[in-house]
Structure 1
Amino acid sequence: MELTLAIHQITDLRFGDSTYLDGSTLVVDRESLTNHLLEDPRLQSVDMDIANPGEACRIGVVFDIIEPRVKEPGAGSDYPGILGPIATAGQGTTHVLRGAAVTLVDEAAPLGNNKIVEMSGPASEESPYSVLHHLAIVPHTDSNLERHTAQNALRLASVKTSVFLAKTALGQMPNATEVFQSDGPTQAGRDGLPRVAYIGQIHSRQRVAEVDEQILYGANTAGMVPVMLHPNEWLDGGVVSGYQNMGVETYFYQNHPVISELYRWHREGKITLVGTIATMAASDNSDRERNCMLASEMAKWNLAADGVVLTKYGGGAPHADMALTARLCEQSGIFTTVQVSDMSRDRQAESALLFNYPEVDAIVYVGGGDTNWDLPAVEKVVAGNPAMTAALEVAQEIPAGGICGVTSQQGISKLRCFVY
């Protein structure tokens, strides 16, 4: 399977009388985009604003961040199962507005869920989102809707905006192209190279998925066991984050750091990327044992992997599930590396120890709740309501997990851990 990303670099984002791409400047017609989103009767109104790199601006509470993308006509379905019909993602050409982001703000998220984008100050330097040009969308839903129905409206608004913006690139020459090509576990001509797979959690059953929570090809993962996916399916809209993104934004499914790095090694002839497995964290012990067993067996018997990289989705139970999956892989002869976020609050190694398997000894730290950031007051806030604006505009201390991109379950974090 081959996916070509046509990259159109964005260096400026502003509002105008029509929506178009002028070189590297993206101009957005606020009225036409608003009308497009209001075709969903669940929305009563839509506010939007722009946040550019270096601006003393804070956005929150964030529902999701997504990169503007659209499939070349005839090349496939946009966000299959959510916006477009079910079709295999990861094939053909997808146009990408690199440097731009659609950031959905959740007007009803409580103050305790301080998931923010920080565009300036020390914390912004540790987040990959601070260098992007954000079109912040604030949908206001019908107050009579159930909470999950309102969240589903936010999800639809996110992908509609992504495609609306990216359509400006159709017919234009990209600045660059990126090709992702892998023939899976039976690739010829790569004898002797280590065979490496990726196992990634896409949901945690500690929180029951809503009936309309569209995570994998529009499905909510209820009753799901681990499934094999081509690496390109993650990169091209087959997977999006759930309603509580847990340090996992759709932007870094589209630009998955682990899959992208494995692909780089694949191209350089260091490894063979044989495939990926999407799984979920369990709600009880039997569910955990089943999912971990099946994921490890797929890596061994379906993908014939020599090595596996694993990531989690969520907190302590996903942490333990990931570790057990790695242990079972190690016991079957597969080398593993796991990415962990620190679950402790006191910076003590003993508090962070949620597993102790001697076999699982290649561990990468990607940030956690043990680090707080002092945020300065800001001149501008993009929020869902006046109370949230007032709460976010002042100087405050916030844990790293509350700042998008500082703690990243997908592995984009810039933080490292030290024992001292």
Structure 2
Amino acid sequence: MRLEIGAFHVKDIKFGDRTGYDKGVLTVNKEELLKVVREDEHITAADLRIVRPGDEVILCPVKEALEMRCKVSGGHGIFPGVLSEMEIAGSGRTHCLQGCSLLVVGAHAGGFQDGLIAMGGEYQHHTIFGDMPNLVLVADTDEEFERREQQKKNRALRWAGMRLAEYVGQCVRDLQPENIEVYDLPAIPDRSDAVKALPGVLYVLQPQTQMEAMGYNTLIYGWDGNHILPTLMHPNELLDGCMVSGSFMPSSSKISTYEFAVNPMLKRLYAEHGRTINFLGVLMSTLNVKMDEKVRCVKMAGQIAVSLGAKGAVVVEEGYGNPDVDYTAMLVELERLGIKTVGLSDECTGRDGASQPLVSMNPATDALVTTGNVSQMYEFPKMEVIGELEALARDGNSGGWEGCINPDGSFVMENNGMFCANHISGYSRRTCADF
């Protein structure tokens, strides 16, 4: 399967009379784009803003992040099974506006799964989005049925973001990319003897799929991830948009739709293919609530890995707490089967730093990479707010609480509520020092 990513490197975004791209500048026509947003009658108010690195601006509550792109050949849309017909992603050419993102922010109501982004100040670099220009959709909906729910599906806003990401991406459909990234991974039996002699490695992904009620979990080709069993997938499928981030779990531990498709861990495994490893593909797994579901999942994943002849695996967990049981169980099962593993996740040590960082621990899990501590505390000065800062305290954001906002507009929050800050996809730039 061969995928070409045509890259257009965005250095700035501005409003203008027409939507287009030229020499590093993405120009968008605000009214034209808002018509796309308002195609959903549940959107009651909407505006577009542009934020840039260094702006003294807070975005809250952030619902989603997406890369603006379009399908040029090999498919009909950038979200197959969601906005377009079901077809396998990962082949042909896709044009991408790289180095920027589309952020979706609630004008008012937030929830447990929503987050905060700082575009300037001390915490600007805690998310990748603080270091890039962003087009920001700020909108409200009539979804009153979940206004006071801690968990929100955010459906109207998330779908509006997807429509907008695809619409803007169309402006580079007929342009010549500045460079083309090629991802060409042949079928496993068709690889050369030299490649086959290298250790086979799998990327085992455990996206957030814990909600038994539909509408909250990660989508795979539009299918709720709670309803799948471990499945072997081609990495190109992820890089070409087969996954849509869910609307559940603490924000800093989320993998955004942007990161599912622009995935540095996948790209690093690709870069090592044929050099140091034989990259076997993506073993798509799940995170479950009940113990029998957890056991079934890891046992089936282990069988697939053994059948493929895997010698190594990178296991990635989206979340913490209850999902730690699935995470460590997967690591232990693969190690039991003779497959060397590295685990990639964040951790939760509690505000006092004294809690066990993973709910479940095992001596076999001796190669773990942490991307951050969800319990770390941050103190923010007063800054301009796009959205509504009160949502942090009022609406059950996982990093805020009643009283965390001071009368002068400064506030305190846990890393829990920093949007996708731990970047389980592999973007994290945090380091650990041993004193």
Q: 1:194 to 1:209 in 2, by over 3 A?
A: farther
Q: Which residues in structure 2 correspond to 1:18-417 (within 5 Å)?
A: 18-73=18-73, 75-107=75-107, 109-110=109-110, 115-144=115-144, 151-189=154-192, 190-205=195-210, 207-211=211-215, 215-244=219-248, 246-266=253-273, 269-301=275-307, 303-346=308-351, 348=353, 351-378=356-383, 380-383=384-387, 385=388, 387-388=390-391, 394-417=409-432
How far residue 317 of structure 1 moved from its aligned partner, in angstroms, is 1.7
Instruction: Figure out how many residues of one structure are paired with residues of the other and give that number.
Output: 415
How far residue 351 of structure 1 moved from its aligned partner, in angstroms, is 2.3
Q: Percent identity?
A: 26
How far residue 329 of structure 1 moved from its aligned partner, in angstroms, is 0.6
- Look up the match of 2:398: none
What TM-score comes out, normalization by structure 1 length? 0.92
How far residue 405 of structure 1 moved from its aligned partner, in angstroms, is 4.2
State whether structure 2 residue 8 is matched by structure 1 residue 8.
Answer: yes
Query: For 1:329-362, what per-residue CA distance to the aligned partner results, in whole angstroms no more than 9, with x for missing partners?
Result: 1111100000131211146465225333222211
How far residue 410 of structure 1 moved from its aligned partner, in angstroms, is 2.2
Please give the secondary structure, in 1, of the residue aligned with 2:203: strand
RMSD: 2.4
How far residue 111 of structure 1 moved from its aligned partner, in angstroms, is 6.7
How far residue 239 of structure 1 moved from its aligned partner, in angstroms, is 0.7
How far residue 160 of structure 1 moved from its aligned partner, in angstroms, is 0.8
Please give the secondary structure, in 1, of the residue aligned with 2:322: helix
How far residue 363 of structure 1 moved from its aligned partner, in angstroms, is 0.6
* Runs of 5+ consecutive residues of structure 2 not aligned to the other structure: 394-404
CA contact (8 A) 1:327 1:357 kept: yes
What TM-score comes out, normalization by structure 2 length? 0.89
Question: Moved runs in structure 1, 4+ residues, more than 6 A?
Answer: 147-150
* Runs of 5+ consecutive residues of structure 1 not aligned to the other structure: none
How far residue 2 of structure 1 moved from its aligned partner, in angstroms, is 1.0
Structure 2 CA distance, aligned partners of 1:214 and 1:315? 16
CA contact (8 A) 2:4 2:94 kept: yes
CA contact (8 A) 1:340 1:409 kept: yes
How far residue 134 of structure 1 moved from its aligned partner, in angstroms, is 0.8
Please give the secondary structure, in 2, of the residue aligned with 1:180: strand
- Give the aligned residue type for 1:163: E
Query: For 1:43-63, what per-residue CA distance to the aligned partner results, in whole angstroms no more than 9, with x for missing partners?
Result: 223112111111111111111
Moved more, 18-27 or 183-192: 183-192
Structure 2 CA distance, aligned partners of 1:350 and 1:381? 33
